[in-house]
Every structure is written in C-alpha cells, then in structure tokens.
Amino acid sequence: MTEHCVRSGWLERRKGSKKGSVKSYFVLTSDGSLLERKNSTANNIENFSIKNGDFQAFEKNQILISPEDIKLIFDDERDRDDWMRDMKRIAYPDCGAGMFGATLKDAYLFERERNETVPFIVRKCIKKIKEFGLQSQGLFRKSGKMTMVEKLKESFDRGERDALERGDFTDVHSVCSLLKRYLRDLPEPLIPFNCYEKVMQIMQRTLHENETIAFIKLQNTLYRIPLCNFYILSYLSLFLNEVSVIDGNLMNDENLSLIFDSYFIRPEIDDADLLACTQPNRQKATAYIIKKARKLFPEEKREEDIDKLLDENCSVQDLKDVIRQQRLQLTKMVEEKESALTKVVQLQTKLAELMIN
C-alpha cells in the first residue's frame, strides 16, 4: 500500500531539556511515520514512529514524543491540536480515535462502517446519563469535575471506548460536561452555517405569522441538512426532550436552550457582539426544536401536520416546500433500505462461500 502525506509543515523541534530549538520540515504519513527534513523536498533527517501512541500534548503548544524525548513546538494551540488529532487517528485507526474536533462527516463515515449513524461518544454519554437517571438537578447546567472530564476526553480521543465503564464512576455531571465538550469542539454547529439565516427567518417571522407553516418550513430545512448532521441533531434533540419533561431536574426546554444554543445553531462569523445579539433568537430556535423534537423527528411522518397545512391559506411556495420535504424523507428511507438490502446480499454471499468450503 502506498503511504501518503496526512499533514506537513514547518515546526520547531527541541531535544530533551535543551533550551535551544531547531526549525525543520515535518511530514506525517498514513503509515505512522513522522519524517523530519531540512525542507519540503530534502531527504529525511529523522524518522519517528507514532504507531505505538507514545506521544502526548505538552504545555499549550507542544507535543512530546517518547521515548526519543522530542518536543514539537507549534505556532498556537489550535495547530497543535490539529496535528494531535491526525496522529491519534493513525495510532488507533480502528477505535474512532481523534474524535474531538473532527468533523461530523468524518465521524459519520467511521460509524457507518459499523452500522451506526451517531458518533460513538454521543451514544455512550447519553446511555450513561440515562443509567444515572434524568432526575439529577441541573443536568447540563452544573459543571462536572474538570480533571475527570479532561481525563475522559483524552481516553476517548485515544480510542478507549470503555472509558466510562472503568472503576466506580458516579458523577453524572462530568458525563454531561464531556458531551458538551465534544459538541463545543465540533468545527461547525449541528445545524450547518449555510442554514443559519433560513432557520432564523423562520423563528423570527414565520413563527409569528403561522405556526403550522413555520413548523413545516423548519422541518423541511432540517431534513435538507447533511445526513451526518441530521442523525446527531435528531438523536440529541429527542434525548433533550426526554430531559426537559422531568420535573425533578429543573431543566425544561428553555433552560436547556441556554446551554445548547451555540451547539445547535450559530452564525459562521465568530464575533462576540454578533453572538450576543443573536443569542435570544438562537435560544428560541433551540428551545423550539427540543420541545417539538418528537414531531420534528418522527419515526414515520405524521399526516396530521400536512392536513393542517392544507386547511390553511398558505402560498404555493409553502406547498412546494412540503412536497419537497416529503420527497427528501422518502429518498432517505429508500437509501437506508438499499443499504440494508446490500448488507443482506453480502451476508448471503458469505454464507454461500462458507457452505461451499
């Protein structure tokens, strides 16, 4: 198999406790080699292997490689984290490592090969929270133990899928904080940036004019987002809907929206003033999605919503949107059935081969 470059760039390298550093060109390859060169086209000076996982984040902008005791120094923490994520994926290729900060598309492609649609860490955290029970006051509002959260994050990021099952783990708030950390580190919110204006328009204008039309338009918009976003958004929204109806935890849909609004939807421009002024409407949208989750993401589309819309004085465009939404849902159902049929054929083929042998 031909190995390819996963990441490359100029980095500073420091050996052991020496104060001085040398700037070299480094290339990370898919076979787990970290090549050091004088420039991008020169021969290799050193070849470090990271396949055994002997590396860790060090200080704010460094990676420590053992046992060589080499420190790689980056321009900033974000650059360091990008390299760390790729190194973890290569070191632990079969475990879904490097999940924090990875795109939902990458997570979805990994899970799809295992007949899943939602990132493992999201499923695992929600399962654990349900095991603790949803009655704990301040679920998601109270912070967990940060040292424990960081330890769990590092474990999951190294592909240790049983991290929540070790020892006598009893802190539900740390699990909630871990889930929030995963969502916070995503490069894009669950509702993609290119849908932000559409959702905001629905929540600011259409909802006040006609809730039935607003609901249909919102559902239509959510059904258009990529599958990788749709599956986690629906999964998480349905879970938060469960949380919101438990009186004991004091976390209704509005309280949850104060926490999850930026994870659900935010503008692409990362500006503090813009985030502050749009926050009320983003919280309104998040609370609405949580509250209406069972209708927005039903196992089967309910005809009653369409019947209501047909009774309304709605525009041609509104009806076109509903028709388009129904087509999208049918397409999604067909894709899933085709995928299931393909797997059945593969199993039948394997069975036939075993019987012949």
Q: For residue 67, what is the domain's CATH number?
A: 2.30.29.30
The answer as to whether 332 is a domain residue is no
17 vs 337 pLDDT, higher one: 17
Please state the rounded mean pLDDT for residues 112-135.
Answer: 92
Give the per-residue pLDDT at 314: 58
**Can you name the residues that pair with 33 across neighbouring β-strands?**
49
Q: What is the CA radius of gyration of the chain?
A: 24
DSSP conformation letters of 238-273? HHHHHHHT-GGGT--HHHHHHHHHHHH---SS--HH
Instruction: Name the least confident of 95-99, 123-127, 271-275.
Output: 95-99
Maximum average pLDDT range among 40-49, 62-71, 146-155: 146-155
CATH number at residue 248: 1.10.555.10
In the prediction, which pLDDT does 308 show?
47
CA distance 3 to 159: 22
Question: Are 183 and 259 within 8 A, CB to CB?
Answer: no
Same domain for 123 and 57: no
| Tally of domains in the chain | 3
CA dihedral 195, 201, 206, 211 (to 10 degrees): 50
* Tokens coding 144: 């967990």
Place of tokens 């470090």: 48
Q: Percentage of residues in the chain with pLDDT exceeding 70?
A: 83
Per-residue confidence at 313, pLDDT binned at 50, 70, 90?
A: low
Residues 202 and 123 in one domain: no
Residue 175 above 90 pLDDT? yes
pLDDT value for 286: 98
Last residue of a domain, one of 187, 212, 233: 187
* Distance separating alpha carbons of residues 97 and 11, to the nearest angstrom: 24
Q: Specify which of 134-148, 312-326, 338-352 reaches the highest per-range mean pLDDT.
A: 134-148
Mean pLDDT of 103-127: 92
User: Residue 276 domain-assigned?
Assistant: yes
pTM value > 0.85: no
- Lookup result for tokens 């509002």: 141
Cα–chain center distance at 114 = 17
Q: How confident is the model at residue 40 (pLDDT cuts 50, 70, 90)?
A: confident
pLDDT value of position 276: 93
Same domain, 44 and 131: no
Structural domain harbouring 135:
93-187
**DSSP assignment, residue 162?**
T
pLDDT digit string, tens, across residues 51-85: 877 888 888 889 998 877 889 999 988 899 889 88
* pLDDT at residue number 1: 46
Of 171, 187, 203, the residue at which a domain comes to its end is 187
**Same domain for 78 and 98?**
no
Give yes or no for residue 312 having a pLDDT over 80: no
DSSP per position, 278-336: HHHHHHHHHHHHHHTHHHHS-SS--HHHHHHHHHS---HHHHHHHHHHHHHHHHHHHHH
Q: How far apart are the first and last CA of the chain?
A: 29
Regarding whether 209 and 166 lie in a shared domain, the answer is: no
Q: Which one has a higher pLDDT value, 2 or 101?
A: 101
What order of strands is seen across the sheet that includes strand 33-37? 44-49, 33-37, 22-29, 5-15, 70-73, 62-65, 55-58
- More confident position, 300 or 179: 179
Structural tokens at position 34: 């970290």
Identity of the residue numbered 99:
M
Domain stops at, among 148, 163, 187 = 187
Higher pLDDT, 11 or 208: 11
Asked if 64 and 17 sit in the same domain, the reply is yes
pLDDT tens profile 239-261: 999 999 998 999 999 999 999 99
> Using the 8-state DSSP alphabet, how is residue 141 labeled?
T
pLDDT of residue 138: 95
Q: Is 94 helix (H, G, I), strand (E, B) or coil?
A: coil
Q: Could you tell me if 76 and 124 lie in one domain?
A: no
For residue 330, the model assigns a pLDDT of 57
Please identify which residue in the block is written with the tokens 């802190």: 171
In whole angstroms, give the CA distance from residue 84 to residue 52: 14
Claim to verify: residue 35 and residue 120 sit in the same structural domain: no
Q: Tell me what the mean pLDDT of segment 324-349 comes to.
A: 62
DSSP secondary structure code for residue 137 in this structure: T
pLDDT of residue 56: 85
The pLDDT assigned to 329 comes to 61
**Residue with the larger pLDDT of the pair 62 and 325:** 62
Q: Do residues 32 and 90 lie in contact, with contact meaning Cβ atoms separated by under 8 Å?
A: yes
Q: What is the pLDDT of residues 216-236, one digit of tens each?
A: 999 989 998 999 999 999 999
As beta bridge partners, residue 44 has 37
**Residues 161 and 244 occupy one common structural domain:** no
For 144-212, strand residue ranges (E) read none
